[in-house]
C-alpha cells in the first residue's frame, strides 16, 4: 500500500498499478452497499472520473470520461438507484480512519458554500458563503474533516437548511416535499454548530480516535456546543471572538481582549504552528489559565499574535499586529506546544480541502435526493 498523505511529482508504473489495485479493492469492498451490478459499475465510473484530470467534475464530463454517450446513466445513479447513503458514508469514514489514524489526529468542523443559479435545490437560498465572500444564492454544507501527520480527508457532511427552508405554511411544506426534505428537518432550522454536534456524535459513536476538536469562531462562540463537548470530555481548541466572555479561576469573568491586554510581554513565545507555502507559520503565543470544569479538565485562553504589523486598525488607520483568540479545553498538564500544534492542524486541513475542491470536484457536485438516509453530496462521497 502506498503511504498515505500528500504526494507530489509523477508516479512510476509500479505505483500506478498499485493504486489501480487499491482503487478496485476499495470499490469491491463497497459493492454490497449497492443492490444492482449496474450501480456498482456506475460507482467505479464516478470515482475514476473524480480522480481523473477532467477539467470540470460535473456529471456531463464524468460521463464523457467514462465513455458514456450522455449523462443519463450517472444522473440516474445519483437520483434513483437504491443504495444506503449513510452506510456508504460510514464505510468511507472507516476506510479513511484505518489509513490516517495517529496520535496527533484531530477532527475539524467547517463549512463551504456552492453557488447556485436556481431556487429548486434543497437548501439553496440567499446566504453568506465564504466561497464568494459575500451573500449569494447558494447551498451551504457543514463538513467534518479528519487530519493527522499521515494525511487529511473529509469523513462526514450535513446540508444546512436556513430560514428559507424552515416553516409550517402549505407553500413551504410543498416546496420541501418536492425536494424530499423530511418534516423533522423542515420544521425548524438546525444551526451549523448543531449540525457539527450531530457529526461529532456519529464520530464518537464509531470510536474515531482523535486528540482535539477544532473549529472557527462560528462554532467556538456557541456555548451549547462547548457545553456538550465538555460534558463528553472532548478536548477542543476553538477560535472565539475578542468579545467572548470567559470564566476565571477566581470566579469573575473577563472578555478575551481584556485578558490579552494584561498578559506581560515576556509571557509570549515565538513558535511555528504549521508549515506553509512560504515556510513555517510563526506567531507569538501565550496562554491564560481559566476556570477548570467540574470534572477536572482545564480551560485555557490561547492567544496568537502576528510577528509584524499586518492589520489596519479601524479607528486610527494604523497598522497593528493581528490578535486571534482560541478557547481550549484540555486534560490537565497540556503544554503550550501541544495547543499550538492542535491549532495549526486546522489550517493544514483547510488548505487541503481547498485543493481538493478543485481536484475532485467538491464545488461541482450533483445532489442525490435521499432524505431517508440524509441529503448526500454524491461527488463528495
pLDDT at position 273: 86
Instruction: Give first-to-last CA distance, the chain, whole Å.
Output: 22
Give the pLDDT of residue 7.
54
Q: What is the pLDDT of residue 377?
A: 36
For residue 381, the model assigns a pLDDT of 30
pLDDT given for residue 376 in this prediction:
37
Q: In the prediction, which pLDDT does 131 show?
A: 73
Task: Give the model's pLDDT for residue 354.
Answer: 60
- Helix 37-51 crosses helix 72-79 at what angle (to 10 degrees)? 110
The pLDDT value recorded for residue 139 is 87
Q: Are 339 and 272 in contact (CB under 8 A)?
A: no
pLDDT of 290-320, one tens digit each? 999 988 999 999 999 999 999 988 888 899 9
pLDDT at 373: 36
Q: Looking at the chain, how many residues does it have?
A: 381
Beta-strand (E) ranges in the chain?
106-115, 125-129, 134-148, 151-160, 212-215, 236-240, 245-247, 253-255, 269-276, 279-289, 298-305, 311-312, 319-320, 323-330, 367-368, 376-377
Confidence at residue 166, expressed as pLDDT on a 0 to 100 scale: 82
DSSP E strands, 176-289: 212-215, 236-240, 245-247, 253-255, 269-276, 279-289
Q: Which residues of the chain have pLDDT under 70?
A: 1-9, 276-278, 349-381
Amino acid at each position: 500500500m502506498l503511504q498515505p498523505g500528500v504526494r507530489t511529482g509523477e508516479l512510476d508504473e509500479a505505483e500506478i498499478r498499485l493504486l489501480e489495485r487499491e482503487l478496485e479493492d476499495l470499490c469491491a469492498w463497497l459493492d454490497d452497499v449497492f443492490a444492482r451490478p449496474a450501480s456498482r459499475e456506475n460507482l467505479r465510473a464516478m470515482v475514476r472520473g473524480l480522480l481523473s484530470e477532467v477539467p470540470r467534475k460535473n456529471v456531463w464530463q464524468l460521463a464523457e470520461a467514462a465513455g458514456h454517450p450522455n449523462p443519463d446513466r450517472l444522473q440516474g445513479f445519483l437520483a434513483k438507484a437504491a443504495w444506503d447513503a449513510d452506510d456508504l458514508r460510514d464505510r468511507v469514514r472507516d476506510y479513511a480512519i484505518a489509513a490516517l489514524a495517529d496520535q496527533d489526529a484531530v477532527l475539524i468542523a467547517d463549512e463551504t458554500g456552492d453557488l447556485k443559479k436556481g431556487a429548486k435545490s434543497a437548501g439553496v437560498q440567499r446566504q453568506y458563503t465564504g466561497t464568494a465572500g459575500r451573500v449569494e444564492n447558494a447551498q451551504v454544507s457543514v463538513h467534518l474533516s479528519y487530519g493527522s501527520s499521515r494525511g487529511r480527508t473529509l469523513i462526514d457532511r450535513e446540508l444546512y437548511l436556513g430560514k428559507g427552508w424552515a416553516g409550517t405554511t402549505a407553500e413551504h411544506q410543498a416546496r420541501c416535499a418536492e425536494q424530499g426534505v423530511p418534516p423533522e428537518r423542515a420544521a425548524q432550522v438546525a444551526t451549523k454548530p448543531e449540525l457539527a454536534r450531530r457529526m461529532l456524535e456519529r464520530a464518537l459513536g464509531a470510536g474515531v480516535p482523535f486528540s482535539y476538536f477544532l473549529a472557527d469562531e462560528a462554532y467556538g462562540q456557541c456555548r451549547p456546543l462547548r457545553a456538550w463537548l465538555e460534558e463528553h470530555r472532548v478536548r477542543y481548541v476553538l477560535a472565539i471572538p475578542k468579545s467572548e466572555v470567559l470564566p476565571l479561576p477566581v470566579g469573575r469573568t473577563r472578555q478575551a481582549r481584556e485578558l490579552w491586554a494584561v498578559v506581560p510581554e515576556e509571557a509570549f513565545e515565538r513558535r511555528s504552528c504549521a508549515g506553509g507555502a512560504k515556510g513555517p507559520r510563526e506567531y507569538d503565543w501565550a496562554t491564560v489559565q481559566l476556570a477548570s470544569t467540574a470534572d477536572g479538565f482545564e480551560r485555557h485562553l490561547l492567544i496568537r499574535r502576528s510577528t509584524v504589523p499586518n492589520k489596519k486598525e479601524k479607528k486610527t488607520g494604523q497598522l497593528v499586529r493581528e490578535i486571534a483568540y482560541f478557547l481550549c479545553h484540555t486534560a490537565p498538564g497540556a503544554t503550550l506546544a501541544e495547543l499550538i500544534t492542535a491549532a495549526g492542524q486546522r489550517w493544514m486541513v483547510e488548505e487541503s480541502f481547498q485543493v481538493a475542491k478543485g481536484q475532485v470536484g467538491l464545488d461541482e457536485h450533483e445532489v442525490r435526493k435521499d432524505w431517508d438516509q440524509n441529503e448526500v453530496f454524491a461527488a463528495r462521497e
